[in-house]
Chains A and B, each alone.
Chain A
Amino acid sequence: MQVNDQIDFVRQHIKKNKLRVFMTILAATMGTAFLIVLASVGFGIHDTLRNEILDNRLVNQIEVYSSEMNQVKVEDLKKREHVKAVVFRQSVSINQQSELDGFIGSHNMTVTEFQEEAKVGFALQEGRMPENESEVVVGSHFAENLIEPNTVEEAEPSTYKGSLIGKQFTYKMGLYEEKELFPEETTLTIVGVAKEPAKDWIMDFNIYADSAIMPDLTTIFTSHVDDENSELFYGNVNVYAKNLENVTAVSKALKDEGYSVYSIADQLEQLDVFFLAFKAGLVFVGTIAILIASIGIFNTMTMAVTERTREIGVMKAIGASPKLIQRLFLMESAWIGIIGTIIAVIISYGVSFIANMVLPIIVSAALGDEEIASLDITFSIIPWQLVIIASAISITVAMISGWRPARKATKIDVIQALRQEI
């Protein structure tokens, strides 16, 4: 029998028992949708917690220490597998002072590569990234540290209030042990202001400059300091893995090569293990709902076989093979499973969407806290893997439920079946 004829045959039988098949599909749909929505809550909470940690740029960050860190080594680190970015931040180790429109402040200069910074979430609240050595980005609290010299003694000294973008300021260095700063001034232009740090208690007074500025500053420094052992810049390197799963592999490779490394990925691994078990538990509970629905499929198929005993007998008499009979009934139960699953997936996405939209509002109303509603909490996520797992469980259970009735159909005795009353 050709496949399209088999499908046609199954379709005709389903049409004959529309209501019964509809109710069975409804049960299968409810079971599968329950499984997907339930597990999606596990995925949602897991994702929210992960994002919360990832937003702080800490999880895929590996702090790397080496006594001989230099640009060559950094370039080598960038070429490694699974590495998203390598941020080599170097700070000026001596006294620094900035002056803008008569306001004076002490700001630490951090030299970095903006291209790499941008890859790991360094963002600006206004302006743009520097394009040459005289352009800089300043920290979000830069202006608060620019004080009018006459008001330093006052309880609330007057700070700079104007716009920073496009402003030029002078930058000077000096030794802590000497009263006077080095006379050389470097004029820098502010082209951007960094976004505020995620944590409220952190104040960002930094000046972020491109590493191209380093030769100029080093020349000034060496012209005043003879000591060969003292360095103007000290740095730290943070390697960022492409994703969390790669952190362990990257860390291990670095350790093997003698670097000292630190990451909090290990702690996050525990979170993942916990949520894996949690999600597995939810899928298990959801599967019970599908198993209950499978009883409906079993009943429907058993009744279908019983009702069609004479027809099956006639088909066998005129030459239908037992395998074909079995296949036709398995196709029917699989069809119930497939349609039930498709509808369930659509419904689940709808429920998930509504839950994510409505639940934060309800929670914030219940707790009387408007901030919760604006927080980025995802209550339910349906990843494609969940759809695959739920579909596989649902269709497999549907086919297993149809298996016994289908076997029963193949065992129907032709002679007995032909004797049945029409």
Chain B
Amino acid sequence: MIQVQELTHSFKIGKKGKERKIPVLKGLSFAINEGEIVSIVGRSGSGKSTLLHILAGFLKPDAGIIQIGDVRTSTFSEAESAKFRLDHFGFIFQNFQLMPGLTAFENVELPLKLAGVAKKDRQKKVQQLLQLVGLTEVQDHYPNELSGGQQQRVSIARALITDPPIIFADEPTGSLDSETEQDILLLIQSLNKTRGITFIIITHDDTVAETADRVYKMHDGELSEGGVGHAS
């Protein structure tokens, strides 16, 4: 489903005119199948977050090809990338990235608003998802009135609302205690099984990595397959 070939990226650092190029991704090639949970693990600075940003279209690679389904996303403009993200991707972030001025309900609703879905269609769908993640009771609460686990559930519901085939999760349990972490991981596994969603999880946590069907290890901008995670 996701084909990556010879993906290269480097960052420029230093003053203008005296910049140095630091290679971050060194010609990565790999594939991710439909309905898989894939973990990319690695130490800080290994390039795993940069890889996610490039796959999600937040960042343009220096070179290489990214093909998602039949579409070559690596050549997209910023506007094309945004549209593709809205239709095909969901995101779960370490610090949840919820809108502080919107309630749990409104946060989940936001991608549907961006997609131009009519109000009555939105409401039904948001209700269903809030029920799925167990947050019906607190749907009118603002993010600062929710626990970390609840906020991450809102974030998961928001990622699911447009029925995307792929969800990127960047350290999804990094801000949660171990008990809540287990809940969230079980939810991810369950969504993967019931809805066939492909999850690409960036983590440095072995527990999280073990949830995956396959684990890739990033080291100094190079990727190696680290074997099967939870060996289902």
Taking a contact as CB atoms under 8 Å apart, the answer to whether B101 and A2 are in contact is no
A318, B116: Cβ atoms under 8 Å? Answer: no
Look across to chain B and name the residue whose beta carbon is closest to the beta carbon of A4: B119
Query: Given contacts A415-B53, A415-B58, are A319 and B116 in contact (CB under 8 A)?
Result: no
Residues of A within 8 A of B53 (CB): 414-415
Given A316-B82, A319-B87, A319-B111, check contact A418 B116 (CB 8 Å): no
Interface residues of A in 293-323 (CB under 8 A from B): 310-311, 313-323
A415-B53, A415-B58, A422-B95 given as contacts; is B114 within 8 A of A319 (CB)?
yes
* Chain A residues within an 8 Å CB radius of B78: 322
Q: Are B101 and A319 in contact, CB atoms less than 8 angstroms apart?
A: no
Determine if B91 is an interface residue (Cβ-Cβ < 8 Å): yes
Nearest B residue to A324, CB-CB: B114
In the complex, A1 Cα to B99 Cα: how many Å? 17
Asked whether, in the complex, the Cβ of A418 is within 8 Å of the Cβ of B93, the reply is yes
Q: In the complex the two chains form, is A311's CB within 8 Å of B86's CB?
A: no
A315 partner residues in chain B, CB cutoff 8 A: 110, 114
Instruction: Determine the residue in chain A with the shortest Cβ distance to B50.
Output: A415
Q: Are A319 and B115 in contact (CB under 8 A)?
A: yes
- Give bound CA distance, A386 to B183, whole Å: 66
Q: Mark B98-139, 1 if CB is under 8 A from A, else 0.
A: 111100000000110111101100000000000000000000
Contact with B along A382-422 (1 / 0, CB 8 A): 00000000000000000000000000000000110010001
B59 touches A (CB below 8 Å): yes
B110: contacting residue among A318, A323, A418, A422, CB under 8 A: A318
Q: Nearest chain A CB to B168's CB is how many angstroms away?
A: 10
- Chain B residues lying within 8 Å of A313, measured Cβ to Cβ, are 97
B82, A319: Cβ atoms closer than 8 Å? yes
CB distance from B126 to the nearest CB of A (A): 14
- Chain A residues lying within 8 Å of B98, measured Cβ to Cβ, are 314
In whole Å, how far is A168's beta carbon from the nearest beta carbon of chain B? 84
- Whether A12 is near chain B, meaning CB under 8 Å from some CB there, is yes
Residue of B nearest to A5 (CB): B113
Nearest B-chain residue to A411, judged by Cβ: B78
Asked whether A321 lies within 8 Å of B99 as measured between CB atoms, the reply is no
Q: Are A317 and B91 in contact (CB under 8 A)?
A: yes
Do B58 and A322 have beta carbons less than 8 Å apart?
no
A16 within 8 A of B: yes
- Residue contact B100 to A422, C-beta cutoff 8 Å: yes
A311 x B99 contact (CB < 8 A)? yes
Least Cβ–Cβ distance between B207 and chain A, in angstroms? 24
| In the assembled complex, B79 has its CB within 8 A of some CB on chain A | yes
**A–B complex contacts, Cβ < 8 Å, 11 sampled:** A5-B113, A13-B101, A311-B100, A315-B114, A318-B85, A318-B86, A320-B86, A321-B83, A322-B78, A418-B97, A422-B100
Q: Which residues of A contact B (CB under 8 A)?
A: 1-2, 5, 9, 12-13, 16, 310-311, 313-324, 414-415, 418, 422
